[in-house]
Amino acid sequence: MERPLLEVQDLHVHYKTDDGTARAVNGIDFSIHRGETLGLVGETGAGKTTTALALLGLVPHPPGKITGGRILFQGENLLEKSGKELRRLRGNRISIIFQDPMTSLNPLFPAGKQIAENLTLHQNLPPREALKKAGELLARVGIPASRSGNYPHEFSGGMKQRVVIAMALACNPALLIADEPTTALDVTIQAQILEILRDLKEDFGLSLLMISHDLGVVAEVADRVAVMYAGDIVETGSVGQVFEEPRHPYTIGLLNSLPDIDAPRGESLQPITGLMPDPMELPRGCSFAPRCPRVMPVCEEQKPPVFSPDQGRGVRCFLYHQTGGQP
Amino acid sequence: MTSFLLKRLLALVPVLLGASFIVFSIMHLTPGDPAVLLLPQDASAEDIAVMRESLGLNRPFLVQYGSFLQGILRGDLGTSFRSGQPVAGLIMSRLPATMQLAAASLIVAIIIGLVAGIVAAVRQYTLWDGGAMVTALLGVSMPNFWLGLMLILFFSVFWAGRFGSVLLPASGYGTIQHMIMPAIVLGTAHAAFVTRITRSSMLEVLRQDYIRMARAKGLSPFRVVAIHALRNALLPVVTIVGLRFGVLLGGSVVTERIFAWPGIGRLLIDAVRAQDYAVVQGIILTYAIIFSLVTLGVDLIYGLVDPRIRSQYR
């Protein structure tokens, strides 16, 4: 099998504060193949954005620090690269789209110029050519090239996100990280943006890391899914596996808590009781144990390793220890 | 933009009219009769009355104000009681020196303030930051007459005693060397203000998403700060520099006095001591005009810096 484009191995990210150490990411493993879309889902505070920032070498330091693991991009460990080498990758081979398009663009520069900046930086294009190409990129995401000279405040939220997408794709990256790219947008605009992302992914042949707390969004665009909880990836599998046959009690709870339009009226939602643990005081064993309906004594003692109950699936849960997959 | 400029210039008219009225009223209400001052000590009451008549001082207040305004429109600010020279000419001959000093000290303030503020923000909570903030606190707290005297003491008096000649001249006007100490004295407090406002504004901007985006684009830390952050952080700095220009002019009165700088600040002090009303009046009005123009300049700079503001300039 071909080597994955991105392999994350045992990644740890901690934030040191005066009150203690917040363990935001605690030894996650995942990989993304060329042309593949991995959906990273989880609640707010599960460590999704920290993971994205770690991939770019942008974890704010201090207080944040990558304390262990490897990030292999095209076979090279990004954590061993110098700042300069990382800068050459950022915005060039690996791009990111942040959550809020309203604040992602610098208010003082025209949209086209902000896109052109990537091109002059990474492809050494002369300014004039870079601007021309920026116009073409805008047209590619559905904004007339003539608006290249407009400032961010002259665009709507959905259009700003298109500009951000054009910016991210300017240098034809191999990996695009989309951190909640539709969360701040209206539902109709969300659909348009997802459509654009899907199109461009095909055209540019890129791999996509789609981060979202919205299971619907992930189900729509992802090939595989990784479910994140309190800094751990608790379950991975194909979209079909995870959404139709969830294994981890957290994933099961998450899917049960979704409103279902086919459910009889008046039936109440089933939330997961309790809250995600404080990253400063994570439980010794499984971090989901305090909320887990199927908790066992071992769960509170030891952190479960990853079991593989079926092909292509990983579950971090003792339920799958000896049963050969079936709980 | 042109129409905006015209509108703003037109709006200056009522402002200056108000300023001139206030200046004139204050002078009118100040005790002391110019006629008495102009005549010898032993002048008779009759002589005084004749003098008042010839100066027009016995006319009603508003009539006097009217003729003062008329004079201004013709560029005539009256005549100095003391020297007999036209006030406008006196001010114009002194204005360049004051503007040179103001410009030099502003440059000192902006360069030191911006650099220190940016370094303090980028290296927040480090020794750099602490050092800049303590220095800024000292700079704000130090009275400029004291700083002026200390500089003279060191660079002129002590230096001359130790090495035989002064490093910087203690007073006078004409060369760059003459300018250095007054510019530092006048610029110090402003540099401190600019440092503090640059730091806080920069810290605010550095937290913004578009800065994280700029880093994610692969820009070097220098370009992130110099291109993406600094321009965004500049608006509050421009505001403070503009607002404090009035304080700068006020400070120049003291500084010019200390360094015997031939500007309008020293002219003002001399005029106040001699109760030379026409000159005092003219200078205060000049200050008002300068301040209004600086405010207008600040608004124009806003537009240059920020396209969102520019789009409102119609």
pLDDT tens digits, one per residue of B216-256: 999 999 999 999 999 999 989 998 888 888 888 888 888 99
Q: To 10 degrees, the CA torsion angle through A218, A221, A222, A228?
A: -20
- Indicate whether B190 pLDDT > 70: yes
Q: What is the mean pLDDT of residues B62-79?
A: 89
Q: Which two tokens stand for residue B263?
A: 């500007």
pLDDT exceeds cutoff 90 at A40:
yes
Q: Is the torsion defined by CA of B109, B115, B119, B121 positive or negative?
A: positive
Closest residue of A to B210, CA-based? A104
Kindly list the distances between the CA atom of residue B55 and the CA atoms of A230, A302, B34, in Å, as whole numbers in the listed order.
87, 101, 9
SS3 assignment, position A236:
strand
Residue B47 has pLDDT above 90, yes or no: no
Report whether pLDDT(A327) > 60.
no
Mean pLDDT of A8-12: 93
pLDDT, position B48:
85
Q: Name the percent of chain B lying above pLDDT 90.
A: 46
Question: What is the average pLDDT score of chain B?
Answer: 89
DSSP B110: H
The region of weakest confidence among A270-279, A281-290, B291-300 is A270-279
User: What's the one-letter identity of residue B110?
Assistant: I
Question: Residue A237 gets which letter from DSSP?
Answer: E
Give, as one character, the DSSP assignment of residue A153: G
pLDDT for the residue numbered A323: 54
For residues A56-79, average pLDDT: 88
Contact call for A164 and B305, based on CB within 8 A: no
Query: Which pLDDT value is given to residue B314?
Result: 63
Number of H helices and E strands in chain A, helices first, is: 11, 11
pLDDT at A292 over 60: yes
- β-strands A207-212, A175-179 pairing: parallel
The residue ranking higher by pLDDT, A62 or A10, is: A10
Of B213, B219, B305, the CB nearest to A104: B213
Relative orientation angle of helices A157-169 and A127-140, to the nearest 10 degrees: 120
Q: Report whether pLDDT(B32) > 80.
A: no
> Beta strand A76-77 with A224-229: parallel, antiparallel or unpaired?
unpaired
Report how far residue B282's alpha carbon sits from residue B94's, in angstroms, rounded to the nearest whole number.
12
Residues A171-227 pLDDT 10s = 999 999 999 888 888 888 888 888 888 888 888 889 999 999 888 889 989 999 999
pLDDT digits (tens, 9 = 90+) for A67-77: 988 999 998 89
pLDDT, tens only, B95-126: 999 999 999 999 999 999 999 999 999 998 89
Pull the structure tokens for residue B185.
């004295």
CA distance A135 to A200: 16
Sorting pLDDT into bands at 50, 70 and 90, what band is A325? very low
Q: What confidence tier does A308 reach under pLDDT thresholds 50, 70, 90?
A: confident
Q: Residue B304's pLDDT band (boundaries 50, 70, 90)? A: confident
| H or E, element range at A76 | strand A76-77
Report how far residue A160's alpha carbon sits from residue A257's, in angstroms, rounded to the nearest whole number: 32
Residue A152: closest CA among A200, A101, A205, A84: A101
Closest Cβ opposite residue A121 in set B215, B219, B307:
B219
Instruction: State how far the Cα of B288 lies from the Cα of B279, in Å rounded to an integer.
Output: 14
A101 preceded by cis ω (within 30°)? no
CB within 8 Å: B210 and A92: no
pLDDT band at A1 (very low <50, low <70, confident <90, very high): low
Alpha carbon B105 to its chain's center? 10
Q: Phi/psi of residue A310, each to 5°?
A: -145, 170
Q: What pTM was estimated for this model as a whole?
A: 0.83
> What is the pLDDT averaged over residues A90-119?
92
Task: Name the band, by pLDDT with cuts 50, 70 and 90, for residue A8.
Answer: very high
Q: Is B186 helix (H, G, I), strand (E, B) or coil?
A: helix
The span from the CA of A94 to the CA of B179, in Å, is 54
Alpha helices in B39-86 (DSSP H): 45-55, 61-73
Residue A322 has pLDDT above 70, yes or no: no
CA A133 – CA B155 distance, rounded (Å) = 59
> Vertex A34, ends A29 and A38: CA angle to 5°?
45
State which residue of chain B sits closest to A151, comparing Cα positions. B307
For A189-216, give the DSSP string: HHHHHHHHHHHHHHHHT-EEEEEES-HH
In chain A, whose CA is at the least distance from the CA of B218?
A87
B105-132 core/surface letters (b: 16 or more CB in 10 A; e: else): bbebbbebbbebbbbbbbeeeeeebeeb
pLDDT tens string B254-281? 899 999 999 999 999 999 888 888 899 8
What percentage of residues in chain A have a pLDDT greater than 90?
A: 47
Tally of CB atoms within 10 A around A155? 19
**Which runs of E-coded beta strand occur in chain B?**
none
Q: Pick the residue with more confidence: A324 or B159? A: B159
pLDDT band for position A234 (50/70/90)?
very high
Q: What is the pLDDT of residues A14-32, one digit of tens each?
A: 999 888 888 999 989 999 9
A102-125: b or e for each residue (b if 16 or more CB lie within 10 Å)? bbbbbbbbbbbbbbbbbbbbbeeb
Q: If you measure CA to CA, which chain A residue comes closest to B302?
A: A108
Write out the residues of chain B at the interface with chain A, using a CB-CB cutoff of 8 A. Answer: 208-210, 212-220, 228, 231-232, 305-308, 311
Q: What is the mean pLDDT of residues A92-99?
A: 91
Contact A91 B216 (CB under 8 A): yes
**Chain B interface disruption, residue of A55, A73, A106, most B CBs within 10 A:** A106
